[in-house]
Amino acid sequence: MGAKARGGRYVLGGGARRLAGARVLVSGLRGTGAQVAAALVLAGTGRVVLHDRGTACTTDRAQQFLLGESDVGQNRAEVSQRVLAELNPRVVVAAHTGELSEAFLASFQVVVLTESPLEEQLRIGDFCHDRGICFIVADTKGLAGQLFCDFGKRFVVDEPAEGDPVCAVVQDISQGNPGVVTYMGTEDSRGNLFCDGDLVTFSGVEGMTELNDREPIPVRVLDAFKLEIGDTSSFSPYRRGGLVSQVWLPQEHSYEPLRQALVDPKIQVMNPKELPRSCSLHAAFQALHAFREERGHLPRPRVSVDAERVLELARSLGAQQGPLDEDVVRAFASVSAGDLCPMAAVLGAMAAQEVLKAITGKFLPLDQWLYFDALECLELEGAERLTEEDCAPRGSRYDGQIAVFGADFQEQLGHQKYFVVGAGAIGCELLKNFAMMGLAAGPGGDLTVTDMDTVALSNLHRQLLYRTADISKPKSVVAAAAVRRMNPSVRVMAHQNQVGPATELLYGDDFFRHLDGVASALDTLEARAYLESRCFRCHTPLLDSGTEGPRGNVLPMVPSLTEPLRPGDMSRDGTFPLCTLRYFPRTIQHTLQWARDEFEGLFQLPAEHVNRFMEDPAFLDQLPAGLEALEVLEQVQGSLRERPRDWQDCLLWARRRWQSCYHDNIAQLLHNCPPEHETSPGVPFWSGDKSCPHPLTFDPDNDTHLDYILAAAHLFAQAHKVPPCSDRAAVQAILRNVVLPPFMPQDELRIPLTEEQEEAQAPVDSGRLAELTQDLVQRRQELVGGEEVQVPLMEPIHFEKDDNIHVDFITAASNLRAENYGIPPADWLTSKRIAGRIMPAIITTTAAVAGLACLEIYKLVWGCRDLSCYRNSHLWLSDCRLLRTHPLPPPVYQYGGQEWSCWDRLEMQAVGADGQEMTVQEVLDWMQRTHGWTVTMLLHGYTMLYDRGGDEETRTRQLAQRLSANLEDAGEPRRRELQLTYVCEGEDPEAEDARPPLLCSLP
């Protein structure tokens, strides 16, 4: 299975296997249809047929990103087919330009209509409902969109929830009616793992064995660690061990056909307060169909008589539920002729996710209507004054955008200077949208994109701008070239730099202050937090976007208007207590982390140490004293002693390692702590969070055993520069003849059983250390004297999540460890995701998030200073929910008798009377003169510039120094601008009181 196919299964579950056999029709290849089709092709849908009877026109190119300038005048489906076919060679992409007859429709599993008249929607909807074909309508008009799903009379959802079923370690089960299960939460769990009504099964329970392998049992949650499970009074007493696992059973759902759903709509909303607005849009879309049927065109932009006619039709249709919001209908109608790329991206991505649900049975489908609008854009100051002339067509590719925001705004878009940080999944979608919108496509415009990564095979299933031929090329360079192809007018520049402390000379304060905005497309919370801090410091607007599987969010940060962003607590680093990993794992996360540590300890660190030992004669002297030195030296000695001559030596090494990890070490642990061992009379040692393990017996016919040997031997061979072999049959034949010495327990071996024992260091055997040092010095002399030695002697191997051999080793090593402890194993993809610490990205979520971000960019470009117009967006595609809320205003505080915002700062030109940089004394005088504050302490970061509490000689010297003199003495680079903190008279220097920072501009 290739990287593309594997990628979708991170989020789509086992149903992703059905994608390859699916047949989907996408009708209408303007913006929304193009987004749906591209997402389905990238996801690996088996056959995607594109239908459109129209020809591409210039105005299509403001939202249809598959079209080139030379495609104007050609059939949209045919030109789109040529581009989409290049995206994924495993997908058959075909074009159809004829009628949508019943005979033609009957061959599809899913039919998606965009840009279709209502009469056609009803005809095809009836046919699909009767035939059991999943039917979807997705349509955007101006600043509003609608989505409808009919998956038939009986649709089965195999996996309704996001993520994986929960599994927890049992600590106790009471005998009673009901019985109460006490379980242990995982390290990263927040709140209850289970919900009332969840179905669970039990495995590995000792004592109360009646629970093992029973049919799923419903539970009632008592608290964060206790469940009721029914009558256990007749069961045997619980002794120890066991796992309680959540079970997902398939759900059956039924849907009404479009004809019925129009009259009696089920509209999905985040809260009941949104329902009247959605009902008004439901009526408005029907009225728009009627207007188009009546007039032959959509309402003209900003023509009030047309908008009023749509309102009349909405009233007469009587389709709304409850009172009609006439302002919403008017606003919708006044810009319904507009075509906006961000709206097409949001609705198209959401529709594509519904198609994937129809195919895979993963996640709950939409039931049945969803309406989304960004009509708040019409409330921007001055937008109400736009006229018909302002929004009239110009024969430009941007006419669809001009219809909404006017021609002057389009010019303003072209002047923008934006910085896109990251050219991965979200970055590609942002850049595609920018090209369609014409951002930085005019005089003075500038679009800079930076990403230090290169295109990898695994990127191709979710990153729209890359093709197979781009693998190993810089992402930013390839992405910039793609933007130029989509819109040659965009002034885009590619950088290959990380944005962080190391590049502050390149991306300094001046750089950020000259920008109109920054779009964050980063995939780690740490990087997002750093970028937020830079934009906050420089008062630069920031759009922060993030995704994880089907979830996404967009947070705008507008200087002085919104609160600063907090992208969330720093994510867990995947670390666990050492004794848990070594002796008492409870979850597959524990065994995967153990396998990652094994990888590093076997194939990376020893090779690095050996190379340093061989190349640096002072290596032994530079080692830190204590146990760490002993461990390093033993690693080096072991690596030199075990140097393989050929592939068979590598196999034998891997076989010995298998025996040590999965048999001997476990047998030794059980020798020290037998299954019946008690910590005190009546209290078993192996209970609660300690599961009693069992040794494994090697079997060359066991696939997991053989997978481990092959992967470990391959990596060992690579590290020692020995040619590997992948002949499984030959390897099995060798392994059948391997006989290892029997295990002999060591009575004197100490095993740390608690964190305290793990952290307590045993005294270093100085004699052993001296012996090792002497032996290694002699061995180095022998190797250096030999003619065959290569420098470097070994090849360190760093774990790479996109290397299949690496993931093969991690998966096999972890699952064998899991088998030792009775932990359910993880498949290859799950192991890769957890061990690679991947934040899963799918094209549907990234496209929707990028579209939501670009809606906020419209407001920033407009210069909006009204907080109520901005939106924080939170998206859950797993159940088709979108929550948009107002950002919070910035917090304020009191200082020096005034109220300050967190955005406020004191700004001064730090130029003295002599034209030179101010001295510290001059800065203090300025503070006293301007604000009446007597400064007692002045700092730049941790560097003290002035302390009134120091001795007189030190104070005199500090006051006379230029501002940057102390910083140069401390080794800091010279800056054009310094941000200083201070303490004033009467303040406690240890207090954490907020105060406005002092910003000093140097000459």
Q: Tell me the two tokens of residue 770.
A: 């001296």
- Report how far apart, in Å, the C-alpha atoms of 609 and of each of 35, 329, 764 are: 51, 71, 20
CA distance 998 to 252: 63
Number of H helices, E strands in the chain: 33, 33
What are the residue numbers of the active site? 579
Q: Angle at CA 837, nearest 5°, toward 831 and 840? A: 85
CA distance 380 to 101: 45
- Using alpha carbons, select from 153, 248, 233, 235 the residue that is nearest to residue 197: 248
Identify whether the C-beta of residue 421 lies closer than 8 Å to the C-beta of residue 519: yes
Identify whether the C-beta of residue 301 lies closer than 8 Å to the C-beta of residue 404: yes
Parallel, antiparallel, or unpaired for β 977-984 and 998-1001? antiparallel
Q: How far is CA 923 from the centre of its chain?
A: 46
Q: Angle at CA 825, nearest 5°, toward 821 and 831? A: 120
DSSP string, 679-747: EETTEESS-TT----------TT-HHHHHHHHHHHHHHHHHTT------HHHHHHHHHT---PPP---T
| β-bridge mates for residue 545, sequence order | 554
Q: Tell me the two tokens of residue 6.
A: 């594997």
CA distance 17 to 732: 30
> Residue 682: is it exposed, middle or buried by C-beta count within 10 angstroms (0-12/13-18/19+)?
exposed
Phi, psi of 892 (to 5 degrees): -120, 160
CA distance 825 to 831: 9
Q: Interhelix angle for 843-862 vs 31-43, to 10°?
A: 140
Spatial CB neighbours of 123, under 8 Å, sequence gap ≥ 6: none
Helix (H) or strand (E) holding 616: none
Identify whether the C-beta of residue 534 lies closer than 8 Å to the C-beta of residue 524: no
Give the 3-state secondary structure of residue 913.
coil
- Using alpha carbons, select from 47, 804, 92, 87 the residue that is nearest to residue 469: 87
Spatial CB neighbours of 693, under 8 Å, sequence gap ≥ 6: 666, 669, 670, 820, 821, 822
CA distance 137 to 126: 13
- Report how far apart, in Å, the C-alpha atoms of 641 and of each of 9, 581, 776 are: 43, 28, 10
Q: Tell me the two tokens of residue 156.
A: 């089965």
Q: In what order do the strands lie in the sheet with 180-184?
A: 217-218, 199-203, 243-247, 167-173, 180-184, 226-228, 220-223
CA distance 93 to 633: 59
Q: In what order do the strands lie in the sheet with 110-113?
A: 92-96, 47-51, 23-27, 110-113, 134-141, 144-150, 369-373
**Hey, what amino acid is at 202?**
F
Identify whether the C-beta of residue 803 lies closer than 8 Å to the C-beta of residue 810: no
Q: In what order do the strands lie in the sheet with 517-520?
A: 492-495, 446-450, 417-421, 517-520, 542-548, 551-557, 872-876, 881-885
